[in-house]
Structure 1
Amino acid sequence: MHWAIKAGIGVLVSAGSFTAIVSQPTHASAATYRRTAATKVASKQYYTKSNTGKTYTFSGSLKKTKMHANHALKSYHNSTWTRTKQAYVYKGNRKVRYYYVKSAKNGATGWVASSYLKAGKDYQAKTAKKTTASAYDKVASHTGKIYQISGTNNYVKLKAKTSLNANLVYTRTKTRVIYKRGRAYTYNYVTAGSTHGWAVSGDIVSESSIGKTKVTSKANGLTSYATSGNVLSPYRSQDFSTVNSSGYTMGKITYTYDSDYSTTNSFQTAVHTLPLTKSTNDAYSKYHFQTAVYLPIDYPGFSRKSILGNPQSAAFSKDDHYLYVMYNDNQQASDENQTGWVIRYDWTKLNQLLNASGSSLSMIRRATNRYYRGTTTALDRQVLACMKVGPQFKAGHVQSLALNPKTNQLWFIKAYKNSTTATVQRLSMSTLKPNAIVNFTLKSTVHMGSVLSFDNSGNAYFWTQTKSAWPTAPVNSVKFYKGTLGVNRVHFSLVKQGLSQAPGQVLQSMSYNSNNGRLYLVSDESIFSVPANKLGKLSTADVSRSNFSGKREFEGLVWQHTSNTGYLLTNKGPELMKVVAN
């Protein structure tokens, strides 16, 4: 008899007989240990990051327990194990605690050494909750991903779909808590166009929190505030468009004085008209301007004569009792360092004097000139009593004085183009000097416009002329910006629709008429207006366009709040001209 072994089969050969013995593969012999009986423990969740550990089954008696590996822990990363029992296994001189666990991933069970586990849920979640739709931006310093989530609350899977885009505004509609390695993370369901998915809360920031300010200093009655990060909402240039506003853009104007400015030695008395020369065929575009009053030129206490010859902007008080006119010296090297001041005119009393018998349109100009020379009359003193001249301060170019009707505060832009940091200041109506200053950055490639306006709801606006063309915005097209401006917060968004052409070559002013709800864009001899409530969805018919003649510098258009009355602030020489319907 002899043995032949082949392919794991033992064959016994004997004379005249054949016997085959088949041997099945088996696990290697398991070591034998002593253990305690299993006891129940409070249910608790764990996760593991081990690449070497295993779970086991027990067999045999307590005194002679064999352990058989059944799952590799490395296959259960990003999932949760829940314990229900424990037992101690004695391995030589060591007493090792084992937990009986069940996987939320696929229901796998086994005993695992507690040292391989860390307390906490991993890739489990709570049910998503709906939220009020709100706007969010990508946090600038974070890369950020948008994920797709699948699975159940017991075992979720996350797959990165795309990166967050710094040029998109996302709308959040749901939140969901997902646990990773024992920590709870909030994910937000966001959409932006065709993009949708879940973003970690730390990678996006609510637009309602953008631009919040902090106090940086307090001195001499002036409180300084500053924001951190950009205060301009993200946008993509390809999402921008323009509505046709062609045919009314005026070229650069060579300014001239009124015809009688020299012959009257500046003490003009005649009513002058700036006629309408061309306009669109709508009710909002058909008007012209007529002299309402000639403004002063001289005033004592300043560095030179004719110091008041350069008014730049104006605003009425909320009750229209006072008119605030802002001036600058225009002798400093840069716009933001120009010296400025404000004169508050008692508009109600001045009009009473102007309407009195024997009055003249040059009444203010003559009174201030005689005050400069020290030869005032009784009427002059009445006129001068209607004026409060504020102190001088570093004011910038000051072509942006505007009242926020909601807060009843006056604001102007001090610095807007020489650096990425914009500076706006709040003007005290009593002291006529700034009592608050706010510094902020719109975006590294976007400077603050030089003009400012507010609607009745307190929304702030400015507009700019495009200097570097986009595929969607030609040179000299108009961009509108809308937002919030105050000591607590500064935040602006680019309106995704502008105008194909600006009114003229020199951007001068912006104003809001609370009686018709329109925003007015002022350039020299050309004024456009649009309904504020249709920004972003304008049609060409919504854009009223008016051209004028006279070669005067159009410094600003200012509207009263209690009536549909407007005035043009102009130079050479300085005067207020009333808006008169054609």
Structure 2
Amino acid sequence: MRKKTILILLITICIAFAMISSASAVDVGKVNVKSFGSYTVNLTNAPDAVKKPTSYGRSVKFVSSKSQETVKNTYNTRNLKGVNARYTFKTTYFLPSVWKKGKSLGTVESSAIKGNYLYTLVLVKHNSNKGFIVRYNMKILNKEGLNKSGDSAKNLRRIGMLYKNGNTKLSAKLTRIAKAVKVGPTFTTGHGQSLSLNPKDGNLYMWQDTGSSDNLKILKIDPNKIKPVKSYSFKMWNTGSNSYVRGVHDLAFDKDGNFYVEIVYGASKNLPTGAIKIYQGTITGNKITGKQAPSVISRGPGAYKKSVGQGIGINPVTNRLFILTDGAFYSMPINKLMDGTLTKEDMGYTILGTVREFESITFDSKGTAYLFVLRGSEILQSKDPYVGITS
């Protein structure tokens, strides 16, 4: 009788799990994207586009220290014609390239900030479409001095190398630091450059962009479990151009919970080569809406087909949207972007003095900018200088 009761219980649990699993996948169907016409903002005052370097740079002491860096890097805005928004980015954390059981953390594609937590999306290997999320407790890292130059700055990488070499017996200090790192389960991510926080509901989201078809899928990710808990499948039909929206890779949310997508276009009858359309959307329950920004940007900060778009981000304090490429980024006020009054004078142009590969730009609730770069993996921060823009 007891065995029968246990069997019934197991069957009940399996049925419940199956119901939860099926409920977590929502087929939204066709989403009609509102189009209010468009006009191109010609960025004739922008600096020259940044081209992809012949080879990406590395952190100054990454190789000589065998990744065990202790001196923070600093990158300043270059003094070039057209550059009108100045930043100084300085390393906050040197992040590990390996972790427990030799798990590689080197192929980071995007990052997000929520409160005291830094999240990074890591691919299992380059172009694998499989990955996982790593969460860092910044409050603990700062308490242990990892945000300052000196011997403590290398401790995340030091722990990673100890794990890789089979040494799991850590000192009390290193044990505290190790507990600040949580590695989530592997799931199908797609390219992975779209991890983003929705400040409105407190969840993380990202595209599961495994291809370039009309079929889109966005994942809702629990920031505590750091794994997908819901997926939305749909198509976005642009009613103005009578075509489906494709090539979706980037994602960012504003403070009101609206999401934004950047699409780069080739030359056409109506658009110049490298023109950027931006779409705004909402996710409410199981419903998704969308509309196209009437302001079309004539080109990105990088040369089309010669520099890779690396992501977008939104400052929740200034409500500006950032478009990132390697070595440079643009920014613009969202209200003017969406109401069709954006001009070239509203744009912020920044080029930094480095040829390292950029992966994401994100912001905390106070408006501080965080820039993720590779070789080795590190995140740098800067105060956002925007109180007004001077060209």
Match 2:111 to one of 303, 306, 314: 314
Cα shift at 1:486: 4.9
Cα shift at 1:446: 2.2
Contact 1:416 1:449 (8 Å CA) reproduced: no
Alpha-carbon separation, structure 2, partners of 1:222 and 1:256: 46
Q: Which has the higher contact order (CA 8 A, sep 6+)?
A: 2
Match of 1:456 in 2: 255
TM-score by length of 2: 0.83
Deviations 1:104-136 (A, max 9, x none): xxxxxxxxxxxxxxxxxxxxxxxxxxxxxxxxx
Match of 2:376 in 1: 573
Match 2:319 to one of 517, 528, 531: 517
Contact 1:218 1:224 (8 Å CA) reproduced: no
Match of 1:545 in 2: 349
Tell whether 2:219 aligns with 1:425.
yes
Match of 2:161 in 1: 369
Contact 1:290 1:580 (8 Å CA) reproduced: no
TM-score by length of 1: 0.57
Structure 2: state its 5+ residue gaps.
1-17, 238-242, 386-391
SS at match of 1:391: coil
Match 1:243 to one of 42, 67, 75: 42
SS at match of 1:533: helix
Match 2:208 to one of 411, 414, 419: 414
Match of 1:271 in 2: 72
Match of 1:343 in 2: 134
Judged with a 3 Å threshold, the aligned counterparts in structure 2 of structure 1 residues 431 and 273 are, in CA distance, closer, same or farther, namely same
Contact 1:416 1:422 (8 Å CA) reproduced: no
Match of 2:283 in 1: 485
Q: Which has the larger radius of gyration?
A: 1
Letter matched to residue 313 of structure 1: S
Match of 1:233 in 2: 34
Match of 2:12 in 1: none
Summarize the alignment of residues 188-207 of structure 1 with structure 2, pairs less than 5 Å apart: none
Match 1:393 to one of 170, 187, 198: 187
Summarize the alignment of residues 466-477 of structure 1 with structure 2, pairs less than 5 Å apart: 466-467=265-266, 469-477=267-275
SS at match of 1:360: helix
Alpha-carbon separation, structure 2, partners of 1:410 and 1:478: 25
SS at match of 2:29: strand
Alpha-carbon separation, structure 1, partners of 2:264 and 2:151: 42
Cα shift at 1:288: 2.4
Letter matched to residue 560 of structure 1: D
SS at match of 1:231: strand
SS at match of 1:363: helix
Match of 2:58 in 1: 257
Letter matched to residue 231 of structure 1: N
Summarize the alignment of residues 3-18 of structure 1 with structure 2, pairs less than 5 Å apart: none
Cα shift at 1:340: 0.8
Q: What is the total number of aligned residue pairs between the two structures?
A: 351
Contact 1:528 1:543 (8 Å CA) reproduced: yes
Alpha-carbon separation, structure 2, partners of 1:281 and 1:325: 29
Contact 1:401 1:452 (8 Å CA) reproduced: yes
Cα shift at 1:233: 2.5
Contact 1:269 1:362 (8 Å CA) reproduced: yes
Write 1 or 2 for the structure with the bigger share of helix.
Answer: 2
| CA RMSD between the two structures | 2.3
Alpha-carbon separation, structure 2, partners of 1:343 and 1:413: 17
How many percent identity over aligned positions?
26
Letter matched to residue 269 of structure 2: P
Letter matched to residue 398 of structure 1: G
Match of 1:294 in 2: 94
Structure 1 ranges of 4+ moved more than 4 A: 217-222, 279-282, 355-359
Cα shift at 1:219: 5.2
SS at match of 1:442: strand
Judged with a 3 Å threshold, the aligned counterparts in structure 2 of structure 1 residues 442 and 558 are, in CA distance, closer, same or farther, namely same
Letter matched to residue 454 of structure 1: F
Letter matched to residue 252 of structure 1: K
Letter matched to residue 268 of structure 1: E
Alpha-carbon separation, structure 2, partners of 1:331 and 1:506: 15
Alpha-carbon separation, structure 2, partners of 1:462 and 1:357: 37
Write 1 or 2 for the structure with the bigger share of strand.
Answer: 1
Alpha-carbon separation, structure 2, partners of 1:464 and 1:478: 6
